């Protein structure tokens, strides 16, 4: 491991003094309840504070304890999560709540090792829960902390490489104090969120600027090094917006897998060389309906690992000759607006409403 360019104990006092004056007032900072801290940490994974606050408050209103969350149907959890993205987090949250109740008697474990047994809880999230709820010496390495350490030590390696990962955890461990670990953890997260920004860091406002190696060498704009981007795969699908007496047929996706538990209009995949309208007509035959399809245009939506190109077709019928399966439902337009549709199908609804239907 590389030598430290400054004393190990030089960081925490500066951060703590800054945090006492500049720390953010956030809803989950008024408690040491591990349930509330865990909930906030899961929600904050790859999501901004501004987006999380409303969801956090609504979740607590509906599920005020881990027991309430464990007892809820998974569908209710996913519906409440709708719009926050990365839906595996909601499924893991529910699974972890059940595990906490069934295997831990509703009590949160306190160590990083034990917390990592919970679905959806990795090393950094476990460290945050352990430090914030139980004041244990547990380092974290979320995106904000990773960026701070890359600049602080002028690490000139891609920050997600295996060598960088090992080095960053080593530094995080060394810099995390034994005392005041709760406030230190909040402080270093706040520093990354408000000062050590991805673009145009506010170095003049940083309590660590005198020690920052990136600033000393004029590398604060170049670090962290960017990862090499991979080509984004493209998926092609077509959706049938089937209308009967002012209501549209929608179905819930399987609970596991991509976008699990969310709602969508009936959809088919389109392979290379296939015609979207022909595939949609096959879907119509599955429902035993016929009629003139009306093209409504295309939707493009970016998910975390792929881009979806979705073609839309609308069909109005007078009667539905077969009983819809249990996961299907008929909803009026105003009901669809309240439904947990996933991103591309929210755009499909907007296009449908804009078409005057």
Q: Are 10 and 210 in contact (CB under 8 A)?
A: no
| Distance between CA atoms of residues 272 and 342, nearest Å | 24
What is the DSSP code (8-state) at residue 28?
G
Q: What is the pLDDT of residue 354?
A: 75
User: Exposed, middle or buried: residue 239 (CB in 10 Å: 0-12, 13-18, 19+)?
Assistant: buried
Residues of the chain with pLDDT under 50: 1, 323, 326
Q: What is the pLDDT of residue 219?
A: 93
Q: What is the pLDDT of residue 8?
A: 85
Q: Phi-psi bin for 259: left (phi > 0), alpha (psi -120 to 50), beta?
A: left
Q: Which residue ranges form the domains of the chain, and what is each CATH number? A: 8-216 (1.10.340.30), 234-354 (3.90.79.10)
Helices in 45-203 by DSSP H: which ranges? 49-62, 66-71, 74-81, 88-104, 112-115, 123-134, 143-152, 162-175, 181-194
Of the candidates 41, 220, 237, 243, the residue annotated as catalytic is: 41
Q: What is the pLDDT of residue 6?
A: 85
Q: Are 51 and 83 in contact (CB under 8 A)?
A: no
Q: What is the pLDDT of residue 338?
A: 82
pLDDT digits (tens, 9 = 90+) for 184-240: 999 999 999 999 999 999 999 999 999 999 999 999 999 998 877 788 899 999 999
Q: What is the pLDDT of residue 110?
A: 96
Q: Are 159 and 168 in contact (CB under 8 A)?
A: yes
Q: What is the pLDDT of residue 1?
A: 46
Per DSSP bridges, beta strands 307-317 and 247-252 are unpaired
Q: Pick the closest to residue 114 from 104, 105, 106 (CA basis).
A: 104
41 catalytic per annotation: yes
Q: What is the pLDDT of residue 136?
A: 96
Q: What is the pLDDT of residue 55?
A: 96
47 contacts: CB under 8 Å, gap ≥ 6: 84, 85, 86
| Distance between CA atoms of residues 187 and 95, nearest Å | 30
> How many C-beta atoms lie closer than 10 Å to residue 5's C-beta?
13
């Amino acid at each position: 491991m590389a030598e430290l360019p400054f004393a190990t104990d030089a960081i925490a006092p500066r951060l703590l003094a800054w945090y006492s004056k500049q720390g953010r007032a956030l809803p989950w900072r008024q408690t040491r309840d591990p349930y509330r801290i865990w909930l906030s940490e899961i929600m904050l994974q790859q999501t901004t504070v501004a987006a999380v606050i409303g969801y956090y408050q609504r979740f607590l209103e509906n599920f005020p304890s881990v027991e309430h969350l464990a007892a809820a149907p998974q569908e209710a959890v996913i519906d409440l999560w709708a719009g926050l993205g990365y839906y595996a987090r909601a499924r893991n949250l529910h699974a972890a709540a059940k595990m906490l109740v069934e295997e831990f008697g509703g009590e949160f474990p306190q160590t990083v090792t034990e917390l990592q047994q919970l679905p959806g809880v990795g090393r950094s999230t476990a460290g945050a829960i352990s430090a914030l709820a139980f004041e244990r010496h547990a380092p974290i390495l979320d995106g904000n902390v990773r960026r701070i350490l890359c600049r602080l030590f002028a690490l000139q390696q891609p920050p997600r490489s295996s060598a960088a990962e090992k080095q960053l955890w080593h530094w995080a461990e060394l810099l995390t104090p034994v005392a005041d670990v709760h406030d230190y953890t909040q402080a270093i997260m706040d520093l990354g969120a408000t000062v050590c920004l991805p673009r145009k860091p506010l170095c003049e406002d940083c309590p660590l600027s005198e020690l920052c190696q990136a600033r000393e060498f004029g590398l604060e704009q170049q670090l962290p090094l960017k990862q090499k981007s991979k080509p984004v795969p493209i998926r092609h699908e077509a959706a049938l917006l089937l209308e009967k007496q002012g209501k549209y047929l929608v179905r819930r996706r399987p609970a596991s897998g991509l976008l699990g538990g969310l709602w969508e209009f009936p959809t088919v995949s389109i392979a290379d060389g296939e015609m979207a309208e022909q595939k949609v007509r096959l879907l119509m035959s599955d429902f035993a309906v016929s009629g003139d399809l009306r093209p409504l245009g295309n939707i493009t939506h970016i998910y975390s690992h792929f881009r979806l190109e979705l073609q839309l077709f609308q069909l109005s019928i007078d009667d539905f000759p077969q009983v819809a399966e249990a996961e299907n439902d008929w909803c009026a337009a105003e009901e669809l607006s309240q439904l947990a549709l996933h991103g591309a199908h929210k755009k499909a609804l907007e296009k449908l409403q804009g078409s005057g239907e």
